[in-house]
Amino acid sequence: MKILFITDPHIRGNNPVSRIDNYSESLRNKHNEIGQIIKNDSIDVVIHGGDIFHSPDVSKSLISEYIKIFKSWEVPIYAIAGSHDVIGYNEKTISRTALGVLIAADAVKLLGSIPTEIWSNIFVVGINHSYRLDENPKNYFVKKCDKDCILIETVHGMVVDKPFFDEYTLIKDIKTEADLFLSGHYHPGWKPQKVNNTLFINPGSLGRVENIERVFPPSVCILNIDHRFPEKKNIDYKIVPLKCVVPSKDVFKTVTKLGTETSEKILEFMKTLSQKTGDLEKHDAKSLVLKIAKEEKVDDKIIEEALIIIDEVMFND
């Protein structure tokens, strides 16, 4: 059976400040091309790594449009909640968000910690984003109930192949019984790799909200699993770049791509800036709250409430 994996499209109605093209049109083209791939390649199931929308509160017209697009794919779409999908990094808020509407409209199905059987002997576990996720690699451990089945783990966490900054989890530190580990959140992506019998894949973000170095241009990952003999764990994959994608020089204001070190410096500076001004995207304000709260050892309940309040007062499209 064939699975198509995508992650982090960050669908939004307005343009990111860094883009000179029409972002929402570019996202529409990408999703329509994916619909074609699903039909041409006879894809059975789609798995989505989260950050479907850039904000939990995008416009109703945008949500309606994507309900239609996702339904036109005519295959089940299993998703997890990313950091941008929920309010205050809190998965309990899903029903109030744009993702919640997609679920209620039956356009996507939410994965959870209880394995979902998406095909005979093929199970998927989903780990939504939470700000606690990367505190301990053990948070990525999932257990297999039947050794002969194929277990897929889908996560929205800062899983990386080499040290990053802030909180992250290295692939090599993850112990899991999953045969396949599909990750979103880290937009540059990394080269697929097999570690301790688990195949790790992150093709990178479908939407480009920032001009960063990437491993692949915006792509989908097509997985072919021999479901007749699951015990053989025969999983083929290919990363397929989308044809409608134009070079980054034609979509970004600045030609120079940010290297990791520069990105880190900018993000640190943004955090300092957010102490002085309210003119920042809510995501930066939330990172700042988390940073200070951790330094000050603020109670979890208070952190949760503070993150929700920031989202409530800074909602935008």
For Mn ion, give the closer residue by CB, 8 or 179.
Answer: 8
Contact range with Mn ion by CB under 5 A, out of 4-12, 37-45, 90-98, 173-181: 4-12
For Mn ion, give the closer residue by CB, 84 or 289.
Answer: 84
Measuring CA to CA, how many Å separate 159 from each of 1, 137, 140, 188?
Answer: 27, 9, 10, 11
For Mn ion, give the closer residue by CB, 217 or 234.
Answer: 217
Measuring CA to CA, how many Å separate 36 from each of 67, 73, 208, 242?
Answer: 17, 8, 21, 11
For Mn ion, give the closer residue by CB, 8 or 161.
Answer: 8
Q: For residues 256-295, which are near Mn ion according to CB under 5 A?
A: none
The binding track of 5-34 with respect to Mn ion, each residue x by CB under 5 A or -, is ---x--------------------------
Q: 202 with 190: CB under 8 angstroms?
A: yes
Q: For residues 46-75, which are near Mn ion according to CB under 5 A?
A: 51
The values of phi and psi at residue 86, to 5°, are -115, 165
Residue type at position 213:
E
For Mn ion, give the closer residue by CB, 225 or 282.
Answer: 282
Count of positions on this chain that bind Mn ion (CB under 5 A): 2
| Angle between the N-to-C axes of helices 60-72 and 23-40, in degrees from 0 to 180, rounded to the nearest 10 | 20
The values of phi and psi at residue 225, to 5°, are -115, 130
Q: Which residues contact 276 (CB under 8 A, 6 or more apart)?
A: none
Nearest C-alpha neighbor of 293 from the set 278, 311, 305: 305
Contact range with Mn ion by CB under 5 A, out of 43-51, 110-118, 138-146, 272-280: 43-51
Contact range with Mn ion by CB under 5 A, out of 2-10, 31-39, 56-64, 70-78: 2-10
Q: For residues 71-90, which are near Mn ion according to CB under 5 A?
A: none
For Mn ion, give the closer residue by CB, 107 or 209.
Answer: 209
210: contact with Mn ion by CB under 5 A: no
Residues forming contacts to Mn ion in the complex (CB under 5 A) are 8, 51
